[in-house]
Amino acid sequence: MSTMTATSARPAGMTKDERFVILASSLGTVFEWYDFYLYGSLAGIIGAQFFSDYPPATRDIFALLAFAAGFLVRPFGAIVFGRVGDIVGRKYTFLVTILIMGLSTFIVGLLPSAKSIGIVAPIILISLRLLQGLALGGEYGGAATYVAEHAPNGKRGYYTSFIQTTATLGLFLSLLVILFTRSITGEKDFADWGWRVPFLVSVLLLGISVWIRLRLNESPVFQRMKDEGKSSKAPLTEAFANWSNAKIVILALLGGTMGQGVVWYTGQFYALFFLQSILKVDGYTANLLIAWSLLFGTGFFIVFGALSDRIGRKPIILAGCAIAALTFIPIFKMISSNANPALEKAIESTKVEVVADPVGCGDLFNPVGTRVFTAPCDTARAFLAQSSVKYSTTYGAAGSGVKVMVNGKEVPYANAKDGNPAITAAVAAAGYPKAGDAGIVKMAHPFDIFRPQVAAVIGLLFILVIFVTMVYGPIAAMLVELFPTKIRYTSMSLPYHIGNGWFGGLLPATAFAIVASTGDIYAGLWYPIIFAAITAVVGAIFLPETKDVDISKT
């Protein structure tokens, strides 16, 4: 295919070359997100395979920490591959990142379990997760920059919005492959060996992606800059040691990607976690509900990307952050009342208190899951939180023991390891449902979406996806336009991956830690609300509008 230049005469619509550029960049990025999300969707099963020497609770913690490791290293991948992309070129850099991601994922599918090779298995697994995170840190910036540098002025939001669909499509594809494999193998075989199939399938996706990307030429904007000898010799220094550029990096984070990241992860990952872990919706149904909401909502990435070419990037992104911050709590309450109406009713009508000497009650905030609680006050509250029971803590007299009060009646608490059946029975009698109760939303098959209860939940999840598309659809164009060509890859990648990988990626664990420490199933939503609100304010005041920037001249 021939490369384009910004000054060449062009037809009114999208050219064949431009369509191929978008397809190649987007398809490869879909596959890369697919690889990354497989682990998150299968963290529980993977924990049983690779951390089997530990108790169930501890193995789940290690599995989640391994998942988080991929998020934590993403900014470092942005720095490493961003520098390479600004020196060597966009095309070869994101060709390398997809090879690293695809091979790492394929190897996970082949990796023997801890029962076979002992502690070597989890060490290799975590190493592969780190490689995945590093690769993803370099992939997004390369793909977004590459497409943007091919796009004509006035259509950059529309062109790059196709890249913005890739994370959601990758998640959607991973859910479909998992659901299909589960239905073919059955739950027992899937837990034993079938979970490997989605990882192994990734090698086919990798082959397609590499074949397509090998046919690409270098970005015309970058190639012209390189031919003119204007490329950066030290992009890291120019990007972050130069205050005039570094302050834009900081503004891009605080006034853009931080809020975008928490809205994105709330609307997709925390919503899935909330359905399963708090509302006790079975995994099959929860994944289908999310999948349908993504299917209905994904096209709006392109709608808002194109709209940003007309009215600007800032109004759409910041409106998405502000509206999300104002409506998250009422929307999640409506999800509860539709998905598990008995739980919502019990929360409103049942008063549960933990009464204890304040000396024996510690802080339950435990976002990385590594703390072990032993004090009866702490274990009682942790048990109630894991049971989705709303509770309050009342301090008793000095030296007093722990009492659990359900609607004013004391229930014996013995800090037992058998699940505290007395408390379970008491809250059940007060109206709290258990997992599997008939009133909890359940889908009989993938197309069971027309019953009022199912349709209502999908509709509410769809609204959350709309927020995601508002903040995410125009963000790539905005980030590309904020920075000059010679340090663009480096500069835009870092704030993006801090905002998404750290503020967003750590949201589910942190939000649930807030739930556990407060006894309120909605309290975790204050995490995304606060950061989305900060972004709305900082972005409105300090972040420049970029839609009219001509990146071929920067």
Please write the tens of the pLDDT for every residue from 1-15.
333 333 344 445 677
Which pLDDT belongs to residue 1?
A: 34
Which pLDDT belongs to residue 2?
A: 33
Regarding whether 507 and 488 lie in a shared domain, the answer is yes
Regarding whether 269 and 215 lie in a shared domain, the answer is no
Regarding whether 238 and 219 lie in a shared domain, the answer is no
Alpha helices in 298-451 (DSSP H): 299-311, 313-339, 341-349, 376-386, 421-429
- Tell whether 379 is covered by a domain: yes
The Cα–Cα gap between 390 and 392 comes to 7
Which pLDDT belongs to residue 417?
A: 59
Q: How far is CA 328 from CA 258, 461, 542, in A?
A: 16, 11, 25
* Residue 229 reports pLDDT greater than 80: no
Q: Which residues contact 128 (CB under 8 A, 6 or more apart)?
A: 104, 105, 107, 108, 111
Regarding whether 43 and 127 lie in a shared domain, the answer is yes
* Residue 300 reports pLDDT greater than 70: yes
Find the angle CA(536)-CA(474)-CA(311) to the nearest 5 degrees: 80
Among 155, 137, 543, which Cα is nearest to 317's?
Answer: 543
Please write the tens of the pLDDT for every residue from 26-69.
877 787 678 767 877 787 788 788 877 766 656 666 766 677 77
Which pLDDT belongs to residue 542?
A: 95
Dihedral of CA atoms 170, 174, 176, 179 in degrees, nearest 10, equals -160
The Cα–Cα gap between 291 and 295 comes to 6
Regarding whether 246 and 186 lie in a shared domain, the answer is no
Regarding whether 383 and 284 lie in a shared domain, the answer is no
- Tell whether 236 is covered by a domain: yes
- Tell whether 171 is covered by a domain: yes
Please write the tens of the pLDDT for every residue from 318-345.
999 999 999 999 999 999 999 999 999 9
- How many domains, in total, are found in the chain? 3
Task: Determine the average pLDDT of the residues in 445-459.
Answer: 95
User: Across the strands, what pairs with 418?
Assistant: none
Using an 8 Å Cβ cutoff, are 551 and 534 in contact? no
- Tell whether 288 is covered by a domain: yes
Q: Comparing 536 with 283, which gets the higher pLDDT? A: 536
Using an 8 Å Cβ cutoff, are 315 and 526 in contact? no
The Cα–Cα gap between 156 and 149 comes to 9
Task: Determine the average pLDDT of the residues in 225-239.
Answer: 79
Domain span at residue 154 reads: 16-230
Residues of the chain with pLDDT > 70, as a percent, come to 92
Regarding whether 178 and 134 lie in a shared domain, the answer is yes
The conformation of residue 356, written as its DSSP 8-state character, comes to E
The Cα–Cα gap between 70 and 497 comes to 11
Regarding whether 53 and 142 lie in a shared domain, the answer is yes
Q: What is the CATH number of the domain that holds 331?
A: 1.20.1250.20
Q: What is the CATH number of the domain that holds 383?
A: 3.40.30
Regarding whether 220 and 314 lie in a shared domain, the answer is no
Task: Determine the average pLDDT of the residues in 178-201.
Answer: 90
3-state secondary structure labels for all residues of 470-524: HHHCCHHHHHHHHCCHHHHHHHHHHHHHHHHHHHHCCHHHHHHHHHHHHCCCCHH
Residue that finishes a domain, picked among 395, 429, 463: 429
3-state secondary structure labels for all residues of 458-474: HHHHHHHHHHHHHHHCC
The whole-model pTM stands at 0.87
